[in-house]
Structure formats: C-alpha cells, structure tokens
Copies of this chain bind each other. A is one copy, B any other.
Amino acid sequence: MREAIAEQVHDGDAIALGLALESGIPFAAVHEIIRQQRRDLTLIGPISDMAFDQLIAAGTTARVIAAWVGNVAGGSGYGFRRAYEQAIPRRLVMEDHSNFTVGLALQAAAMGVPFLPTFTGIGGDIVRNHPRIRPIEDPFGGPAPLAVAALRPDVAIIHVQRADAQGNAHLWGNLGLTVEAAYAARRTIITCEEIVPEDIIRSDPNRTMIPGFLTTAVVEVPGGALPSSVQGHWRRDFEPFLDYHRRSRTADGFEAWLREWVLDMPDRAAYLQHMGEAAVERLRVRDEQLAASANFAP
C-alpha cells in the first residue's frame, strides 16, 4: 500500500474514489494518502461518505468534484463544512454535481469524447454557470440538452473482492461508477481482499469489471474498505461512522481521531488490530449465499 500510494498518487492529482458509493470505500488507501501527506488533491466521486471528509480535514485537498459530501451515517461532514465555510485547514473549491452528472463526466472521459448530453438538472442551480456543464443544441432539432464535459482523474482507487497479479479485477455487489472511473482514469490502483491465481479470474470473464491493462498497481489489503462493507466479505460497521461524526465536530476532535486511527497506525494490519479481533470477527461475513453456477465451457 505504501509503495502504491508513493508511486501512483502525487501532490496535485485528481483522485476518484468511493465510486461504489457507500460500500467498498478504499479507506486503507485513503489513510495511507493522509499519512504520506499528499497536498492539493482534487477528490472525485458520487457520494463520498466520510472518506472525503477525512481527506479534507487532514489538509490534503484543494478541490472536490462530487454530488454529495458528508457522512451517510451522521449527515453533515464537519471537516468538509469547516473547509468550505471557514477555510480550515485550507480553502476548498467545490464543484457541485449530481450523481448523474459526475457519472456522465467520468463516462465521457471513459468513452473518449469531450462531453455527454443529458437533461438532468435543467431548471436548477447545479448546472447554472457550472465550469463543466454547458447548454448545447440537439443537431436533430429536439429539445436542447446540456453537455457535461469529460473528467479524467489522474488516479482511480478501487477496492474489490479479488484480483490477479496482473490487476484483472472481479467485483460484485455495488458497482456505482467504479467501471466508468477505472476506464476514465490515467492510473488505477486496485486494492483487494485477496490476490488470486489468474485462473479464478478467467473462470468468469463477465465478472471482470476492470481489465488488468488499465490497472497500474494491485495491492492485497484484506479489510481495506472497513468500516464500509464489501459484499460477501465484510458487513458495514456502523459505529465508526457515528464515532467519527461525533469526534470530527471540532478541529481538535478530528486531530485526536486522526492520530488514533490514521497517524499512529503504520498500516491496515495495525488498524485492524486497533479495532480488536472481536470487532473484526463480528464484521466478517461467514455465511455463504453463492451465485448460481454459470458454465463457461466452450
């Protein structure tokens, strides 16, 4: 994780993460970015949950391009609010989107086109004087849509259930904007529950959401998305979201939280240890509800 972030994430980069919305948020990578003190980042995502709030409050972030920034469990993201309302710890530029427009912006980059048309947002303030959204005519004479300009992240960070050593990644459950962002991004970091032999991936090519030639780093980090959920691996852990919500209400509270859960943790293994074995085991999915078999024999 340490090397992947060191190599792939640079000061000033635009980073897409939290793309599956409330699940599979790559917190291990987020915390490593904070530990490595990246600066002037742009964060891109639909609904970021508290990952963006942590990155903002830790001072890594200059700009956010997102549809919703907060803490799904607690509502407001206090780190986000402090930055936006009071420029603490630094000024934050916000590019507001809806889930659809940020998705279209990523998809335009994924498709290699300058923009995609849409009818969402017309009549509202998101699309008014938006740096990435402009009115456009329908050349076929129909009602005029809006054009959402392509948005190409420098890096997408994506947590999946399994990948092979080449970075071919199987992901199931929530997808959100994961695929669009991986296609759009210049570099893609895959964090995964397990690195598996390539035969596992090849047994189900329709499950490969990210082909390995798009992946620039793959890291095995079991539990790397906790406290968010990972289908078939981890339940959502509610309490850390509420705890973060309470403690991040003040800048001092945030600093204490940050020290405890990020700065004092050398890596994700330490984080899991700090959670405690009982907590980890309580969240681990042990039941099996397997996908019905699909035969790929030729």
Contact = CB atoms under 8 A, between A and B. Distances in A.
B173 A206 contact: yes
B118 A117 contact: no
Given A206-B173, A298-B285, A145 B291 contact: no
A136 interface: yes
A233 B207 CA distance: 19
Interface in A105-124: 112-119
Contact of A200 (B112, B149, B292): B292
A292 B161 CA distance: 12
Interface string A118-145: 1100000000000000111011101101
Interface size class on chain A is: 35 or more
A172 B172 CA distance: 15
Interface string A193-223: 0001000110110110000000000000000
A34 B3 CA distance: 62
B232 A295 contact: yes
Given A117-B114, A117-B116, A173-B206, A232 B139 contact: no
A147 interface: yes
Contact of A296 (B115, B232, B294, B296): B232
B292 A204 contact: yes
B113 A118 contact: yes
B136 A296 contact: no
B203 A206 contact: no
Please tell me how many copies of the chain the complex holds.
2
A175 interface: yes
A47 to B, nearest CB: 20
Given A206-B173, A295-B232, A112 B116 contact: no
Contact of A134 (B140, B290, B292): B140
Given A113-B117, A297-B232, A291 B203 contact: yes
A230 B295 CA distance: 10
Contacts of A296: 172-173, 231-232, 289-291
Contacts of A289: 203, 295-298
B145 A139 contact: no
A281 interface: no
26 contacts: A113-B118, A113-B145, A114-B140, A114-B142, A114-B143, A115-B117, A116-B116, A134-B139, A136-B136, A139-B147, A172-B204, A173-B296, A196-B292, A200-B292, A206-B207, A206-B291, A207-B294, A231-B296, A231-B298, A232-B295, A285-B298, A287-B298, A289-B297, A290-B294, A290-B295, A290-B296
Given A206-B291, A232-B295, A235-B298, 6 more contacts: A112-B119, A113-B116, A115-B139, A175-B206, A201-B292, A289-B296
